Structure 1
């Protein structure tokens, strides 16, 4: 799947929601859902977050494909495997801080 719209449609149909139901759950217009799914319009990050919540999937599932996510994970793991132990401690602290911060912002959106 190459686009956010296709991923939205995939997850929407997987849970058997109509465009109308998704639009209502995400507090956006049906027209926007239809346009995004068919690549006639793009959605803001705030809208993508609302749609992801309505679909009950992580935002990352809509932004990148699972294959792309897996490749990113492999790249990170390979880079971490080359690090010295003290660097890993620093990376872990930074990662914890980033995840906490992102989670707080996600709740606000």
Structure 2
């Protein structure tokens, strides 16, 4: 995936219904919406919508709410729907920038724990000449077809204070590569054929991709 663009939501999706359980936990602690809002640093109106399943909470907000209510986050999803499906014929096309490539989002747009993208890169295409970094912990790439070159910029110190040497990692069909995307890097299709690659980010980018309207 290429450099980060400004966000537009891929699609409005409804997450698991957790509002009733949050409300029951709040009432069992004898907390008002005002009490909970003040403790969590959010508004009363936001919490009211959350308890009515009218908004999907961010991971950070949900953790704060559950900490105040003294309940495990996982308890909200017990006996809930098994998950959300993104159908093969309706996966949204997205744009993170780059050249001569098309990308699709395979995970739900509101999924923050992980983000999976399918990239189709034409010969000579990729992220572009300028190296970039991403504010996530782990990037995993699997080459389905063709080849991919991932290039790391050297002679600089990354945000974690580590010195990074220049390096090129060349991958062929069936190869996988796991790396820290906080290092400045770029990528390009390798060889004369198009590349088809699967990208997995953990956690998801704090700002999502831009939808392509073409």
TM-score range, shorter chain: 0.5 to 0.7
- Cross-structure match for 1:95: none
Which one of 5, 12, 16 corresponds to residue 26 of structure 2?
Answer: 12
Deviation at 1:26, TM superposition (A): 1.2
Deviation at 1:56, TM superposition (A): 1.0
- Cross-structure match for 1:100: none
Deviation at 1:3, TM superposition (A): 1.7
1:3-30 Cα distance to aligned partner (Å, 9 max, x none): 2111110100111111111111111111
TM superposition score normalised by structure 2: 0.29
- Cross-structure match for 1:37: 51
**SS of structure 1 residue aligned to 2:66:** helix
Aligned residues: 65
Larger radius of gyration: 2
The list of structure 1 runs, each at least 4 consecutive aligned residues, that deviate by more than 2 angstroms after superposition, is none
Summarize the alignment of residues 64-103 of structure 1 with structure 2, pairs less than 5 Å apart: 64-65=77-78, 68=79
- Cross-structure match for 1:52: 66
Q: Distance in 1 between matches of 2:75 and 2:68?
A: 13
**Larger relative helix fraction:** 1
Q: Distance in 2 between matches of 1:43 and 1:28?
A: 11
**Larger relative strand fraction:** 2
Gaps of 5+ in 1: 70-109
Q: Distance in 1 between matches of 2:51 and 2:23?
A: 6
Gaps of 5+ in 2: 1-15, 81-214
Q: Distance in 1 between matches of 2:24 and 2:17?
A: 11
